[in-house]
Amino acid sequence: MTLAIDVSGLNKSFGDRHVVKDVALQVEQGHITGFLGPNGSGKTTSLRMLCGLLTPDPGSHGQVLGLEFPREADAIKAQTGYMTQRFSLYEDLTIEENLTFVARVHGMDRVAARVDESLEKLGLQHRRKQLAGQLSGGWKQRMALAAAVMHEPRLLLLDEPTAGVDPEARRGFWDRIHRLADGGMTVLVSTHYMDEAERCHDIAYISNGVLIARGTGDELIHASGLVTFEVEGPRADRLTSELEKAAGAEMAAPFGQTLHVSGTDRKALEAAIQPYRRDPYHWTEVEPSLEDVFIHLMRESNAGKMDKAA
C-alpha cells in the first residue's frame, strides 16, 4: 500500500482554542477519502494544514506525497489542488479567462493548452465564453474543479465542494472525481452529505478536533456497536419524541414513513420498543445506516466534551 498522506500529531490552536487535536491520518494513493464531521469540528483547518495554507503547531510530522510534512510545505503545495467551499473565482470574467488567469498566476507552462485540456476534461468547452457570474451553482463548482486540477496535482483536497448544488449536478461532480481517482489522483473531501460519504472508498470522522473514527463505511457500521430496528406504519415518525425518552433507545431518526430506533444495549433497546410492537406498526431489525452511525458518534463526542467541562 502506497500512502499519499501519512501524518500524525497534527495540531492547530488559535489563541486558547485548540481546534485540531493530535490527529493522525493515512490516505492511500488513488483513494477517495471522505472527511466528515459537524460544523466547527476542524475539517477545514486540517485540509489547509495538509496543503500548506496553514502552519501546524510544533510536533506535527509525517509525509505527504512522499515529502516531509510540514518542512517541505511549498513542494507539497505545488503538487496539491485545493477547492474551497465558497466560490472564489471572478464572476465578471468568462470561464476561459478565469482559467487563464489561474494558470498565469501560478506560473504554469503551456497556458493555452492547459486551459483547453481542462475545458475538455470537465465538459466546459461549449461554455468557455460564458461569464462565471451567469453560471448555476453546479457549473461554478465544475469550473472551480477545473481550476484546482489544471496543474495536474497528485493530491486533491475538496472542502464541501457540492454545498448548495442540485442532486443531478452533485452526481455529475462525483463521477468526475472518481475518474480523477481512477487516473491515480488521491482525493480527500469534506462533506455533510451521507450519500456522498457512501461514494468514498473510506471515511474519516472528526469531532471537536479529534479524529474519532476511521475505515470503510461497512467497517464503521460494524464497529459502532449499534443495534437498529426499523418501524413502518401510518405516521410511524410520530413515535420519535416518545421513543427518544425511553431508556435504551439512544436515537430515533425518521426516514420518510419509517423510523430508525437505535441503541448499544440490545436488551434495553428491545424493552424500550416493546410497548410499540402492535398494530398498525411493523418492526424489523436492520443494519444501521451511516447516518445512524455518525449521529451516534457525534452525540458520544459531545457527551464526552460536556463530561470534561464538568
pLDDT of residue 310: 46
Q: What are the residues whose beta carbons fall under 8 Å from the beta carbon of 161, sequence distance 6 or more?
A: 83, 85, 141, 144, 145, 173, 189, 191
Residue spans of the domains in the chain: they are: 3-220, 223-309
In tens, the pLDDT along 25-71 reads 999 999 999 999 888 889 999 999 999 999 999 999 999 999 999 99
Bridge partners, residue 150, by sequence: none
The domain made up of 223-309 has a fold known as Alpha-Beta Plaits (3.30.70)
Per-residue pLDDT of the chain in tens (310 residues, 90 and over written 9): 799 999 999 999 999 999 999 999 999 999 999 999 888 889 999 999 999 999 999 999 999 999 999 999 999 999 999 998 777 788 999 999 999 999 998 889 999 999 999 999 888 999 999 999 998 888 888 899 999 999 999 999 999 888 777 888 888 889 999 999 999 999 999 988 888 889 999 999 999 999 999 999 999 999 999 999 999 988 888 889 899 889 999 999 888 788 999 999 999 999 999 999 999 999 999 999 998 898 888 888 776 665 555 4
Model confidence pTM above 0.95: no
Show the cell assigned to 9: 500529531
10 exposure class (CB count in 10 Å sphere: 0-12, 13-18, 19+): buried
Q: In CATH, what is the architecture of 3-220?
A: 3-Layer(aba) Sandwich (3.40)
Q: What is the dihedral of CA 221, 226, 229, 230, to 10 degrees?
A: -40
